[in-house]
Amino acid sequence: MPSKARLYAEVILPLPLFGTFTYSIPTTLEGKAAVGHRVIVPFGRKKYYTGIIESITPVAPEEFEVKDISSVLDPWPVVKHPQLKLWEWIAEYYLCTAGDVYKAAVPAGLKVESETFIELNPDYEEIPDARMTDREAIIMQSLDHNGKMTPAEISKKTGLNSIESTISSMVERRMLIIAEKLIERYRPKKETLVRLAVDRNDNEAMHKVFDAVKGAKKQEMMLITLLDNLNKRQQQQLPPEVPRQHLLEQSGLSPAILAALASKGIVEIFTREINRFNYTGTEQGELPKLSAPQSEALDSIHRMFIDKNVTLLHGVTSSGKTEIYIHLIDYILKKGSQALYLVPEIALTTQLTRRLQKVFGKRVIIYHSKFSDNERVDIWKRMLHDPSPCVVIGARSSLFLPFSRLGLVIVDEEHESSYKQFDPAPRYNARDCAIVLASMHGAKTLLGSATPAIETYYKALNGRYGLVTLSERYEGVQLPLIEIVDLNDERRRGRISGPMSARLAMMSREAVKGGEQVILFHNRRGFAPVVVCKQCGYVPKCQNCDVSLTYHRKAGEMVCHYCGATYKLPTICPACKEPAIEVYGYGTERIEEIAESSFPGARIMRMDLDTTRNKDSYLNIINDFSLGKADILVGTQMVTKGLDFERVSLVGILNADNLINFPDFRASERAFNMLEQVAGRAGRRNKRGLVIVQTSQPAHPILSYLQAHNYEGFYEHELEERRRYGYPPFTRVINIYLKHRDEDLLIKAAAGYAETLRHLFGNRILGPDEPHIARIQSLYIRKIMLKVEIQASMSKVKAILRSVYEAQMADKSLRSLVVYYDVDPM
């Protein structure tokens, strides 16, 4: 029998393993399995995963036996061509695997995976004298009672801990069997509807229907409610069906009544899948009218885009960058394309959504990680099947949505470090990926900021990017006045108690009295960042991380801000046994409390990680503050950027030292940006705002640039430092992280690794160093830094890094060493 040539698929799996995996396409699936499709494939001994087909080839792999694809999940590709190209680029550039990118890019609901279930072996015959331990008996009973369960469920049901070894011994003795089952996590949303089972225009039939409910008052009422609704819907040209819930609520009758009508064959009750994506936006409204400088800037952007793919809009805070973005988006939508509007933090989507919906109505799509997985799948599906013009507002992961005709990407606050994902891989910078994504679509990118990243401004000045400047605030409001308060001096003069100088307290009080609002910014959350024994100096640390704990009073516990582990505050010092544990310092929780007592009558709100755990909490805080339901907003960096509150006249920065003193080459840049941004929240309308900066280093150069709102000056100063010490934009930095449970082994391994690298890269290698936090989640950490000249070939550099990795890992004793890279660290 002449065998037809087979086809093979290269499949990306959601696993941290390099490369793609080859599967054969069974003849039954030929034509159905194509690039970008979701497929279920077997992997390892028993597992099944959802993979994405990256490519198809007729060339059979030589060395090994390939397995078949088990099934193809959809009749269409779930990932489109430019997206796959972006994934490839990210994996290559950020030195991670395609699987890492896949995991981050696609909502979990689209990744059906197999899960391990344990069940009783129906063929197991109890041998009369076989001994069973108590634990085994309990597990047997529970499985008999509940049917198959995952190991975790068994643990929960039986209350037994560490059951893995018990289970595996029972499996070996054939008492239990392991089954793999595919779990689909995505649940489509369903709507239950009611329609009439007979033709409403058929008088005879309708007579019979009314006869059938004669005497049954409630059924008759229900029927009339239904008919009423159907009439109304007919007038509105809507389909002849009514949501069941609506009928029940309107009639005030029970589901049993409706069921009775159904059993008499009068109505039909049926369900239908609906997209959670909410189409109920308002209709398209007016575009904002631009001021003269804004229109000029918009024209310049259009002109820049003629020969530049990327343009930087450098506009001071409250200059109306958002309004310009809105005009650009409108232009793109009218051309029939889609736009992506990236913001660095979810908090920013709330105010923006409202501003954009006013103009673009239901064409605004919001996407970020606070959406439930089901909601994310629904948005994904909508984007997949509906290529019509839309604007997506989102945090970094919205980059991965299946755009079909992207025409414009806006990266607002492009300097923000939160665009960089630090953990887990892919450690990508969404701004830089957005530029690549746009170019893959032939689209343009607009970067916007009042404080551009040094690298971005450098590229703009050198002509790589277009540059458009907007140097005045909307309606010519002056940039806020910056007043520096010297904390040391205040202490000497006894003019400070607690976290607030007398000056800041007085100005806050005055602002509130005058009906204005105040933002107090402090970049530490919790109640007190220092817990210490007064007697012996003992400081409680996280058991998993090299981090001292922060006391959270409301929760009544100490928290590790790295891994989230919580501990009880000891009353007695575990080291010296004295009851001398004290808490010091200030976090936002404590500042809120102090503000409450210092400003009696003032209404105070707090916005930080602890008060914004769920999706609506941002919205509520921002809305309430906008509506003037509070006078003072205390917050962490969340309050610093992009937010637009009309009545804020005073911003207090409680401790600028926390920002300035950071041992890393980006510290000054980060501090300047954050200070300028938070200052920019003050006095955005009408009156000039005031910013009070408390610091013990009043002469620090950053602060004088801040006082003059002199971004260019700061840039020149910082660029000189970067040049002198060989940092970006003059070099490219790749940090190589090594982690291991065993510190001694790690120290040796890191020294060896750095030595090998130094042979190849010379003095471009720095370290190994112990990072600021040298142990996280029980793993010790060392960092090696590689700085390469900007002209060097990155593909060569990366090839060398890979070969070093392979050579090092050949040493069996380093098997469990974790190695990863952070390319362009922030």
Ligand X SMILES: Nc1ncnc2c1ncn2[C@@H]1O[C@H](COP(=O)(O)OP(=O)(O)OP(=O)(O)O)[C@@H](O)[C@H]1O
Least distance CB 587 / Zn ion (angstroms):
17
Could you tell me the smallest distance in angstroms from the CB atom of residue 529 to Zn ion? 14
**Is 774 an interacting residue with respect to Zn ion (CB under 5 A)?**
no
**In this structure, are strands 648-653 and 690-695 parallel, antiparallel, or unpaired?**
parallel
Minimum separation from the CB atom of position 423 to Zn ion (A): 13
Instruction: Output the DSSP codes for 412-473.
Output: ETTT-GGGB--SSS---BHHHHHHHHHHHHT-EEEEEESS--HHHHHHHHTTSSEEEEE-S-
Cβ-based nearer residue to ligand X, 223 or 450: 450
Residue carrying the six token digits 């099947």: 385
Residue 309 site contact among ligand X, Zn ion, none (CB < 5 to 8 Å, cut-off depends on kind) = none
Residues 385-404 as x/- pattern, contact with ligand X by CB under 6 A? --------------------
The site partner of 563 among ligand X, Zn ion, none (C-beta below 5 to 8 Å per kind) is: Zn ion
Strand, coil or helix: 533: strand
Nearest partner of 406 among 432, 431, 439, 381, judged by Cα: 439
For residue 819, the number of C-alpha atoms closer than 13 Å in the C-beta half-sphere is 21
What 3-state DSSP class applies to 328? helix
Structure tokens at 299: 């024209």
Length of the chain: 826
Binding residues for ligand X, rule CB under 6 A, total 19
For residues 542 to 571, the per-residue mask of contacts with Zn ion, x marking binding by CB under 5 A and - elsewhere, is x-xx--------------x-xx-x------
Q: Select 565 or 766, whichever has its Cβ closest to Zn ion.
A: 565
Nearest approach in angstroms of CB 452 to ligand X is 11
- Output the smallest distance, CB 686 to ligand X, in A: 11
Backbone dihedral region for residue 305 (phi beyond 0: left; psi -120 to 50: alpha; all else: beta)? alpha
Q: How far is the CB of 618 from ligand X (least distance, A)?
A: 16
Specify whether the CB–CB gap between 174 and 130 falls below 8 A. no
Select from Zn ion, ligand X, none the partner in contact with residue 45, using the beta carbon and a kind-dependent cut-off of 5 to 8 Å: none
Nearest to 96 by CA among 14, 209, 157, 1: 14
Query: Structure tokens of 767?
Result: 């370290």
Q: Is 96 known to sit in a ligand binding site?
A: no
Close Cβ partners of 154 (under 8 Å, ≥ 6 residues apart): 118, 139, 142, 143, 160, 163, 167
Q: Which positions from 97 through 156 interact with ligand X, judged by CB under 6 A?
A: none
Stretch that binds ligand X, among 132-140, 311-319, 494-502, 617-625 (CB under 6 A): 311-319
Nearer to Zn ion, 90 or 545 (CB): 545
Partners of 313 in the β-ladder: 448, 468
Which one of 170, 290, 410, 633 is in contact with ligand X (CB under 6 A)?
290
Among positions 315, 344, 407, 426, the unique one binding ligand X when judged by CB under 6 A: 315
Options 83, 97, 142, 294; binder of ligand X; rule CB under 6 A: 294
Tokens representing 688? 């000039």
| Positive/negative CA dihedral, 343, 346, 348, 354 | positive
**Identified binder of ligand X from the candidate list 20, 219, 225, 318, rule CB under 6 A:** 318
Distance between CA atoms of residues 826 and 821, nearest Å:
13
Per-residue mark of binding to ligand X, 661-700 (x: CB under 6 A): -------------------x---x----------------
The smaller minimum CB distance to ligand X, of residues 11 and 290, is found at 290
To the nearest whole angstrom, how small is the minimum distance from the Cβ of residue 642 to ligand X?
A: 4
CA distances from 373 to 187, 300, 376, 387, 397 (A): 9, 41, 5, 22, 13
* Cβ atoms < 10 Å from Cβ of 800: 14
Rank residues 321 and 783 by Cβ distance to ligand X and give the closer one. 321
- Asked if 667 contacts 718 with a C-beta cutoff of 8 angstroms, the reply is no
Whether the CB-CB separation of 553 and 590 falls below 8 Å is answered with yes
How distant, in Å, are the alpha carbons of 154, 419, 599, 784, 808 from that of 734?
45, 17, 48, 9, 18
Mask for 436-455, x = binds ligand X (CB under 6 A): --------------x-----
Name which of Zn ion, ligand X, none residue 544 binds, using a CB cut-off of 5 to 8 Å depending on partner kind: Zn ion
Binds ligand X by CB under 6 A, chosen from 371, 474, 527, 821: 474
Q: Is the CB of 107 or the CB of 315 nearer to ligand X?
A: 315
Closest CB to Zn ion among residues 106, 781: 781
- Give the binding range for ligand X (CB under 6 A) out of 145-153, 258-266, 284-292, 720-728: 284-292
Look at residue 560 and give the partner it binds from Zn ion, ligand X, none, a contact being a CB closer than 5 to 8 Å depending on partner kind. Zn ion
Residue 301: name its binding partner from Zn ion, ligand X, none (Cβ under 5 to 8 Å by kind): none
Determine whether the annotation assigns residue 536 to a binding site.
Answer: yes
**At its nearest, how many Å lie between Zn ion and the CB of residue 556?**
18
Out of 24, 114, 322, 338, the residue judged to bind ligand X by CB under 6 A: 322
Cβ closest to ligand X, residue 10 vs residue 323 = 323
DSSP output for 150-173: -HHHHHHHH--S--HHHHHHHHHT
Q: How far is the CB of 412 from ligand X (least distance, A)?
A: 7
Q: Which does 294 bind (CB under 5 to 8 A by kind): Zn ion, ligand X, none?
A: ligand X
Question: Segment contacting Zn ion (CB under 5 A): 76-84, 536-544, 677-685, 705-713?
Answer: 536-544
Residue 390 labelled as part of a binding site: no
Q: Which of Zn ion, ligand X, none does residue 450 bind to, with CB < 5 to 8 Å depending on kind? A: ligand X
What's phi and psi for 693, nearest 5 deg?
Answer: -105, 120
Q: Which of 38, 80, 103, 321 binds ligand X (CB under 6 A)?
A: 321
Which of ligand X, Zn ion, none binds 562 (CB below 5-8 Å, type-dependent)?
Zn ion
Pick the stretch among 21-29, 320-328, 542-550, 654-662 that binds ligand X (CB under 6 A).
320-328
Identify any residues that bridge with 740 across adjacent strands, giving them in sequence order. Answer: 780
Residue 89: DSSP 8-state: H
Taking CB under 6 A as the criterion, which residues in 637-656 touch ligand X? 642, 644
Which residue stretch of 313-321, 485-493, 599-607, 722-730 sits at the interface with ligand X (rule: CB under 6 A)? 313-321
Stretch that binds ligand X, among 312-320, 500-508, 765-773, 795-803 (CB under 6 A): 312-320
Could you tell me which residues come within 8 angstroms of residue 680 by beta carbon, excluding any fewer than 6 positions away? 316, 317, 318, 450, 479, 480
Q: Which residue in 136, 241, 323, 592 binds ligand X (CB under 6 A)?
A: 323
8, 56 contact by CB (below 8 A): yes
**Does 533 carry a binding-site annotation?**
yes
Provide the 10 A C-beta neighbour count for residue 531: 23
> DSSP letters of 761-781?
HGGGEEEEE--SS-EETTEEE
Q: Under the criterion CB under 6 A, does residue 22 sit at the interface with ligand X?
A: no
Rounded Cα–Cα distance for residues 175 and 788 (Å): 60
CB of 681 to ligand X, least distance (A): 7
Q: Are 325 and 448 in contact (CB under 8 A)?
A: yes
Distance CA 532, CA 420 (A): 34
Do the bridges between strand 481-486 and strand 690-695 make them parallel or antiparallel, or are there none, so unpaired? parallel
Distance CA 535, CA 537 (A): 6
Count, residues near Zn ion per rule CB under 5 A: 7
Quick one: which H or E segment has residue 361? none
Stretch that binds ligand X, among 288-296, 487-495, 694-702, 707-715 (CB under 6 A): 288-296
List residues binding Zn ion (CB under 5 A).
Answer: 542, 544-545, 560, 562-563, 565
Can you say which residues are annotated as belonging to the binding site for Zn(2+)?
A: 533, 536, 542, 545, 560, 563, 573, 576
Q: Which residues are annotated as a binding site?
A: 533, 536, 542, 545, 560, 563, 573, 576
Residues of this chain that interact with ligand X (CB under 6 A) are 288-291, 294, 315, 317-323, 450, 474, 642, 644, 680, 684
